[in-house]
A and B are shown apart, each in its own frame.
Chain A
Amino acid sequence: MAKAGMNLKIRNGYSQYLEVVNGQKIATSPITLEKGVVNNSNWLGAEVEVQHSSVSHEIYFIAEKSIKCPTNFKFKLRAQHFAQEPIFRFDSDGATHRNDLESIPLSERQVTTPHFHKFNENGINFANKTDVLKTTADAQAIVMDINFGLAHFSTEANLQDSQGKRPIVQETQTDLPIPPNQDPVAGIKFE
C-alpha cells in the first residue's frame, strides 16, 4: 500500500530516477542569480535547463540564495515527469530535517543542515549528509561560499557547465553584499 509522503512514480521507476540524478548533466546556460525568479522578494534565484546524457525528459537546475543571509542557499534538480517538488536538493542552512524512516536508529533520523535531500527506493524523501558534509571544516567552507557549495552539489549530481567545467553561480545584484553571519538574531533587541 502506498504510504503518505511516498512518491509512487519514483518508487516504481527507481532505476530511471537514479539515472536522472547520477547521469551526466550539462547546464545549458549560465547560472545567474536574479530577483523575481523565486516567489519571495528576499531571495535571488536562477533556473537553467539541463541536458541529460541519456534522459530526454525536461530537467531543470535551480539555484536560490537568501539576500539577507547569504550563507543560506539551495540547489535543486527538478524533473516534473517524476514530481512537482525537487527530486534532488541541497540546503546549506535552515531547520534540521526529521527523516520519516522507522527502521533506523533515532539519532540517525535527525539530519542538521547543510544536507542533501533525495528519494530512497520506496519513494520516500529523506535527508542525508555526504562524508564531506560530515566534516565540520569542509561543511563550514561550503556554507560560507556558494560556489564551494555548488562544486560539491555538482559532484553529487554529476552536473557540468556547457564547457564541460564545474558550474559557477554568478550574480547580477549590484547592492553591497551582506557579510556572511549565520546569527539570525544579530542586532535584534529583546526588551
Chain B
Amino acid sequence: MKPALECDPIIGAIKRDFGTLWQCRNRGNSIEIVTPFSTATQKFVSVFITRRDDSYVVTDGGWVSSEDQTYGLDEVEEDSGFDAIIEHFCKAFKIYSTREKGGRFFYKKVSDDSLISSAVYDVANFISSVVNSLSIPVQEEVKHREAFRNDANSFLLKQFPNAKFGQHPLDDYKTAIFHAVIIYPAQMSLVAYVTGTRNNYFVNQFQRAVVNFELAAQSRLKAQIKGRIAFINNEAGGYSPQTVNELSPLLTKYHAQPLQWTERESALSVL
C-alpha cells in the first residue's frame, strides 16, 4: 500500500530550506559561519573559524560574553547565574574558554578537516543553549520593568504634563539617566524607579538610582534641581524592607527621597 505521505519530497524541502540558513562570510583572516541554530532573543548563532598553527579553531568570537550585547541579552545582571550556566554547557559540549584583550572567547580546536562540522555543531549548540538559558529571567524582568515604568510614567504624566521619560538631564554627567524628569522653566525634578522580579535585580536598580542621584548632587546643574524622588516598588517580587533600610540612607545622603509606590501621592508635593 502506498503510504499517505512520502518522505522524499518533504525531507527534501526541509533539507533544502534548512540548507539556505548556512551562510559564510570573510572576516579578515577568519570566516564567520551563520548557522541555522537560533536563540529566543531573535538571533541566529554565528561561529567563527580561524587557523592557528596546524589547527582550526571554531569559536563564538567573544560574542556570548561581550558587553556589546550581540545576542540581545541587554539586561543580564551580575548574579544572574551566568557563571553556572556557562560551566554547565561548557561541560555538556566540551567547550574551552580563554580570556584575552578584554573579552572571553569560547572555542573548540580540531586538526582534522573532517571534524570541523562536529566542532561547529558543538560550539553553535553551546551558544544557543547559553543565550536561551540566560534569556529566561531576562525576558520576565524586562516585561516587569516595562509594566512598572508604564504605570509610573502614566501616574506622573497625569499630574505633570511636562514630564519627560528616560532622560539624560545633566550635560556634565551624560551617563546619568533618570526614568522621569519634570521640566520647569528654570528648574527640574528628577525621578528614579526601583523595582525587580528578584532581589538581586531590585538591589541593582536601587544602587543605580543611588549613583545617578550622586552624580546629580555633583553636577553643575544641582542648584536647578527642585525635587528628587526614588519610587520604590514595594509590590515587586524582589522588594525587601531590609534592602530598602540598608540603601535608603545613601539616597538621602544625595538629597533624594525614597518613596513607597503605594504612597506615591505624597510625591506630588515634592516634585
Chain A residues packing against B (C-beta within 8 Å): 34, 36-37, 39-40, 42-43, 47, 58, 66, 68, 72, 80, 84, 94-100, 105-107, 110, 112, 181-191
Given A39-B175, A106-B20, A96 and B59 contact (CB-CB distance below 8 Å): no
Once the chains bind, are A95 and B63 in contact (CB under 8 Å)? Answer: yes
Task: Kindly identify which residue among B25, B27, B57 contacts A190, using a CB–CB cutoff of 8 Å.
Answer: B57
Residue B101 interfacial (CB < 8 Å)? yes
A-B contact pairs, 29 of them (CB 8 A): A37-B168, A39-B175, A42-B68, A43-B68, A66-B68, A80-B166, A95-B70, A96-B23, A96-B34, A96-B46, A97-B43, A98-B38, A98-B43, A99-B42, A106-B17, A106-B20, A106-B21, A107-B17, A110-B23, A110-B44, A182-B27, A182-B28, A183-B29, A185-B30, A185-B62, A188-B62, A188-B105, A189-B52, A190-B52
Q: What would 18 more interface pairs be, CB under 8 Å, given A84-B149, A96-B34, A190-B109?
A: A42-B68, A68-B102, A95-B45, A95-B72, A98-B39, A107-B17, A107-B21, A110-B20, A110-B44, A182-B27, A183-B29, A185-B50, A185-B61, A188-B101, A188-B103, A189-B100, A190-B96, A191-B98
Residues of A within 8 A of B50 (CB): 183, 185
Chain B, residue nearest A108 (CB): B20
Counting from the closest, the 6 A-B pairs by CB-CB distance are: A183-B28, A184-B61, A107-B20, A96-B44, A95-B43, A182-B27
In the complex, how many residue pairs between chain A and chain B have their CB atoms under 8 Å apart? 109
Residues of A within 8 A of B27 (CB): 182-184
Once the chains bind, are B42 and A100 in contact (CB under 8 Å)? Answer: yes
B69, chain A: closest CB distance, angstroms: 8
Residues of B within 8 A of A105 (CB): 17
Chain A, residue nearest B149 (CB): A84
Once the chains bind, are A84 and B98 in contact (CB under 8 Å)? Answer: no
> Measured between alpha carbons, how far is A55 from B249 in the docked complex, in Å?
44
- Indicate with 1 or 0, residue by residue over B91-130, a CB within 8 angstroms of chain A CB atoms: 0000010101111010101000000000000000000000
Once the chains bind, are B43 and A36 in contact (CB under 8 Å)? Answer: no
Task: Kindly identify which residue among A80, A110, A187, A191 contacts B165, using a CB–CB cutoff of 8 Å.
Answer: A80
> Measured between alpha carbons, how far is A187 from B38 in the docked complex, in Å?
28
Residues of A within 8 A of B165 (CB): 80
> Measured between alpha carbons, how far is A99 from B27 in the docked complex, in Å?
24
User: Of residues 8 to 63 in B, which have CB atoms within 8 Å of A's CB atoms?
Assistant: 17-18, 20-21, 23, 25, 27-30, 34, 38-39, 42-46, 48, 50, 52, 57, 59, 61-63
> Measured between alpha carbons, how far is A106 from B57 in the docked complex, in Å?
29
> Measured between alpha carbons, how far is A37 from B102 in the docked complex, in Å?
21
Residues of B within 8 A of A188 (CB): 62, 98, 100-101, 103, 105
Residues of A within 8 A of B28 (CB): 181-183, 186
B14, chain A: closest CB distance, angstroms: 9
Residues of B within 8 A of A34 (CB): 174
Residues of B within 8 A of A40 (CB): 67-68
Once the chains bind, are A190 and B107 in contact (CB under 8 Å)? Answer: yes
Task: Kindly identify which residue among A37, A84, A182, A185 contacts B166, using a CB–CB cutoff of 8 Å.
Answer: A84
Residues of A within 8 A of B20 (CB): 106-107, 110
Once the chains bind, are A185 and B48 in contact (CB under 8 Å)? Answer: yes
Given A96-B46, A106-B17, A107-B21, A185 and B57 contact (CB-CB distance below 8 Å): yes
